[in-house]
Amino acid sequence: MNSLRTRLLVAAALIVVAFGSLTGLILERSFQNAMLQAQQDKMQTLVYSLLGAASTNAFGELTIALEAVPDPRLRQPLSGLEAALFDDEGVIVWSSADFLRLRPPASPEVGEWRFERLADPNAFALSFGLRWIDSADDPRRYTIVVLEDANAWDRQLGTFRRTLWFWLGATLAALTLALLLLLRWGLKPLRQLGSELQRIERGEQQQIQGHYPQEIQPLARDLNTMITAERNQQTRYRNALGDLAHTLKTPLAVLRGMTAQSGLDEGFRCQLGEQIDRMQHIVDHQLRRAAAAGTRTLTEPVALRSLCDKLLTAIVKVYADKRLQVDNAVPEHLRLRADQGDLYDLLGNLIDNAAKYGNGQLRVSALSGSRQCLIVVEDDGAGFPPQAEHLLQRGARADERQPGQGLGLAAVADIVRAYGGRLLLDRSPLGGAKVIVALPLR
């Protein structure tokens, strides 16, 4: 559910299905109630017709002549329509052709209608209580009952249900498809914006160039402003640092020249030279630290293997006397979204240390997970001493016999911190040092 389109589509589909199901239930219930009311009205009309054809016989009892029955189905056996007349004791005094011998119904009050659905048999029953006054002014209590088979009614309702849900389902499917197309059309500017951002990250274009709706246009404009400002800021940083390095180069050169003058005490000359060298290395270190780009937005991914190949080829030439055996185990497909200059400094320092302090065997490997990328540089040298974390501080060195100022690991630590990563010092299976750099993926 991380996709905006999926969220909108699922929410719209749930609303459509809920609305369609509720609409279908309401229509089905309304149609069923209308059919029940129509059935009751039809049977009431038949009762009125039967009462219109009623008369008394010689014994003063109410009867209905079959030839006067308005509906011919009452004269036909197994027609599905039956009627009967019960006296106040529940005895049938008249019935149609084949009235079922049912239990006497509960007698409704005079003038009261009772409509119900019988389970056995499957039929509708309508009862009506009445009082008949004969010619002798003798009122008698009767109940007229009409039964009609419900199978035809069930078939009609079933046909309506199938038709209703078929067309309603087809309508809901068509509506869902229309919503899908509508969402696809509505979210097209966002997909286009995402594609442009990916092209900017790959270095295929410099800014967002598309024309977007007024709701998205401010976002595209602000992104262009942010991209331009970041690039300008990075350029200003690099230019300012270059100017600073150039400005400090002359005073340091003058001081170094002064140490070569005659007349200076040899001890003072050595001490002054050491301080000048120290100042030079401090300036170089701070320039590298300040120039570290850190985590930047919309940067092109860097292929780590090709970068490592270049560094390893150069280091083999620099330390040709050691006859280095290098192993580049970085996967071909692995790319890291970071500044290429930062990666050069980071890997260059680690590979240089491994070649300098190792005994000839050097290995670089990398592994990419879901959240971070691990870069591992190993050698077969003496390895790190216990409590090696102090080596990450500026000027700290593990082997004083080797030339250097102890700024390599400190510079690497600064770059790693700028990217929000971690730097671990460990023991390698090769027998020497193992440096693990964990950089978060974006």
Q: What is the DSSP string of 98-163?
A: T---PPPPPPPPBT-EEEEEETTTTEEEEEEEEEEE-TTS-EEEEEEEEEEESHHHHHHHHHHHHH
Residue 161 lies in a domain: no
Query: Tokens 């499917």, residue?
Result: 173
Beta-ladder partners of 94: 85
Share of the chain above pLDDT 70, in %: 83
Question: At residue 394, does pLDDT exceed 80?
Answer: no
Question: At residue 287, does pLDDT exceed 90?
Answer: no
Residues 375 and 419 in one domain: yes
CB atoms within 10 A of CB 159: 10
The pLDDT confidence band at residue 33, using thresholds 50, 70 and 90, is very high
Position 128 scores a pLDDT of 93
The pLDDT confidence band at residue 412, using thresholds 50, 70 and 90, is confident
Cis peptide bond prior to 331, omega within 30° of 0? no
Sign of CA dihedral 376, 289, 395, 422: negative
Position 351 scores a pLDDT of 92
Where are the extended beta strands (E) located within 205-295? none
Buried b / exposed e across 111-150, counting CB within 10 Å, b at 16+? eeebbeeeeeeebbbbbbbbebeeeeeeebebbbbbbbbb
Position 391 scores a pLDDT of 66
| CATH number of the domain residue 319 falls in | 3.30.565.10
Residue 171 lies in a domain: no
Question: At residue 82, does pLDDT exceed 80?
Answer: yes
**Residues 358 and 432: beta-carbon distance below 8 Å:** yes
Position 157 scores a pLDDT of 93
Question: At residue 83, does pLDDT exceed 60?
Answer: yes
Residue 179 lies in a domain: no
| Pairing state between β 372-379 and 361-368 | antiparallel
Residues 13 and 147 in one domain: yes
Tell me the backbone φ, ψ of residue 101, rounded to 5 degrees.
-80, 80
> Among 52-61, 193-202, 242-251, 389-398, where is mean pLDDT lowest?
389-398
Residues 406 and 264 in one domain: no
Beta-ladder partners of 149: 123
Nearest to 407 by CA among 362, 345, 355, 359: 345
**Residues 93 and 142: beta-carbon distance below 8 Å:** yes
| Pairing state between β 433-440 and 372-379 | antiparallel
Residues 257 and 329 in one domain: no
Domain count, the chain: 3
End residue of a domain, out of 137, 156, 175? 156
Reduced to 3 states (helix: H, G, I; strand: E, B; else coil), residue 98 is coil
Residues 279 and 330 in one domain: no
Q: Which residue has the higher pLDDT, 417 or 276?
A: 417
> Among 236-240, 253-257, 371-375, where is mean pLDDT lowest?
236-240
- What average pLDDT does the segment 265-271 reach? 73
Q: Half-sphere exposure of residue 239, counting CA atoms within 13 Å on the CB side?
A: 6
- Spatial neighbors of 109 by CB under 8 A, at least 6 apart, are 129
Position 135 scores a pLDDT of 60
Q: What is the DSSP letter of 299?
A: P
Position 219 scores a pLDDT of 86
Residue 423 lies in a domain: yes
Token pair in block for residue 145: 């009952």
> Among 11-25, 132-146, 268-282, 287-301, where is mean pLDDT lowest?
287-301
**Residues 87 and 141: beta-carbon distance below 8 Å:** yes
Residues 264 and 313 in one domain: no
Q: In this predicted model, what pLDDT tens digit does every residue of 44-53 receive, in sequence order?
A: 999 998 888 8
Residues 379 and 241 in one domain: no
Residue 42 lies in a domain: yes
Dist. CA 304–CA 278, nearest whole Å = 33
Q: In this predicted model, what pLDDT tens digit does every residue of 158-175 receive, in sequence order?
A: 999 999 999 999 999 999
- What average pLDDT does the segment 400-408 reach? 49
Dist. CA 140–CA 117, nearest whole Å = 28
Residue 44 lies in a domain: yes
Position 398 scores a pLDDT of 46
Question: At residue 297, does pLDDT exceed 70?
Answer: no
How far is the CA of 127 from the CAs of 40, 117, 151, 154, 437, in angstroms?
A: 11, 12, 20, 21, 91
Domain that holds residue 113: 4-156
Residues 239 and 357 in one domain: no
CB atoms within 10 A of CB 225: 11
Residues 84 and 24 in one domain: yes
Please tell me the pTM assigned to this model.
0.53
Token pair in block for residue 303: 């292929």
End residue of a domain, out of 230, 263, 291? 291
The pLDDT confidence band at residue 226, using thresholds 50, 70 and 90, is confident
Q: In this predicted model, what pLDDT tens digit does every residue of 96-143 receive, in sequence order?
A: 876 665 565 677 888 899 999 988 788 899 999 998 876 666 788 889
Dist. CA 116–CA 105, nearest whole Å = 11
Position 379 scores a pLDDT of 92
Question: At residue 343, does pLDDT exceed 70?
Answer: yes
Dist. CA 297–CA 309, nearest whole Å = 26
Position 404 scores a pLDDT of 45
217-259 helix and 266-291 helix, angle to the nearest 10 degrees:
170
Question: At residue 357, does pLDDT exceed 80?
Answer: yes
| CATH number of the domain residue 105 falls in | 3.30.450
Mean pLDDT of the chain: 82
Question: At residue 322, does pLDDT exceed 50?
Answer: yes
Residues 287 and 309 in one domain: no
Residue 206 lies in a domain: no
Reduced to 3 states (helix: H, G, I; strand: E, B; else coil), residue 138 is coil
Residues 19 and 135 in one domain: yes
- What average pLDDT does the segment 141-149 reach? 90
End residue of a domain, out of 233, 259, 291? 291
Question: At residue 291, does pLDDT exceed 80?
Answer: no
| Pairing state between β 301-303 and 422-427 | unpaired
Query: Tokens 């996709």, residue?
Result: 3
Residues 240 and 361 in one domain: no
Residue 332 lies in a domain: yes
**Residues 349 and 408: beta-carbon distance below 8 Å:** yes
Beta-ladder partners of 145: 84, 127
